[in-house]
Amino acid sequence: DQQVKQNSPSLSVQEGRISILNCDYTNSMFDYFLWYKKYPAEGPTFLISISSIKDKNEDGRFTVFLNKSAKHLSLHIVPSQPGDSAVYFCAALYNNNDMRFGAGTRLTVKP
Amino acid sequence: NAGVTQTPKFQVLKTGQSMTLQCAQDMNHNSMYWYRQDPGMGLRLIYYSASEGTTDKGEVPNGYNVSRLNKREFSLRLESAAPSQTSVYFCASSYAAGTEAFFGQGTRLTVV
């Protein structure tokens, strides 16, 4: 039972444009959401997070939006850069230690 | 600053063999975790240790055991490896439960 879903396995955008990565979840008990970025042969690295009491969190080129009623969050990258090409994982925390991950979306930013 | 260090990076086991994956962190984190990553499945939590001296099961604990040796080290043991345990294993740590985790580089394990 996959409680966190990333329905797009891949996304390709042009350099300078906006990348929008989407994530849906089913468990209303999740109260903290995170995005991780992963390059090949490396572990995931933390990118940005948002608490369930907020609907938006911004950090430089990265913004995460949370829609609790729709159980949906999205990561916006503006402007996209070739170095952003990686696999992005959405994760949700329940009961503090139980972090559930989506299957990931491979982003390719073309020069 | 090494962060989270996992050993080995690669391992091939025969079915039924045992092995221990080692993990150490130098960030003085309280919580440590073991995940496995399989194609199309994302990362799944095997076991975690919220603090030194405690361990708890995650989403997929069957076939594994863990030891929180001290605050720095958290090992994962496969007593009798099975082909279904072929995966990439990641160790992670966080300052406290509910905060962002820092991951090691992963161990690619193949069971034949």
Report d(CA A28, CA A74) in Å as an integer: 17
Report the half-sphere exposure of B31 (CA within 13 A, side-chain side).
19
Tell me the residue length of chain A. Answer: 111
Q: Considering CB atoms only, which of A42, A49, A99 is closest to B45? A: A99
B19: pLDDT strictly greater than 80: yes
The two tokens of residue B32 are 């440590």
Question: How confident is the model over A26-56, as pLDDT tens digits?
Answer: 999 998 999 999 999 899 999 999 999 999 9
Distance from the Cα of A25 to chain B's closest Cα (Å) equals 14
CB contact under 8 A, A89 and B50: no
Residue of B nearest to A7 (CA): B40
Pairwise CB contact (< 8 Å): A104 & B100? no
Q: Which residues pair with B65 in a beta bridge?
A: B77
- CB contact under 8 Å between B106 and A34, yes or no, is no
Does pLDDT of B1 surpass 80? no
Distance CA B69, CA B48 (A): 13
pLDDT for the residue B11: 96
Chain A residues touching B56 at Cβ < 8 A: 97
Q: Which residue of B has its CA nearest to A44?
A: B103
pLDDT digits (tens, 9 = 90+) for B37-75: 998 888 999 999 999 989 999 989 999 999 998 999 999
Which pLDDT belongs to residue A99? Answer: 86
Do A23 and A102 touch, CB atoms closer than 8 A?
yes
Contacts of A91 in chain B (CB under 8 A): 43
Nearest residue on chain A to B93, alpha-carbon basis:
A97
pLDDT tens track for B26-38: 999 999 999 999 9
Residue A66's nearest CA partner among A23, A5, A7 is A23
Least CB–CB distance from B31: residue in A42, A97, A102: A97
- Percent of chain B at pLDDT exceeding 90: 83
pLDDT digits (tens, 9 = 90+) for A54-110: 999 999 999 999 999 999 999 999 999 999 999 999 999 887 777 889 999 999 999
Do A103 and B31 lie within an 8 Å CB cutoff?
no
- Given a contact cutoff of 8 angstroms between Cβ atoms, the answer to whether B44 and B36 are in contact is yes
Is pLDDT at A1 greater than 80 in this prediction?
A: no
Partners of A27 in the β-ladder: none
Mutation target among B100, B103, B107, B108 for the A interface, most CBs of A within 10 A? B100
Q: Which two tokens stand for residue B86?
A: 């072929």
First to last CA, chain B: 36
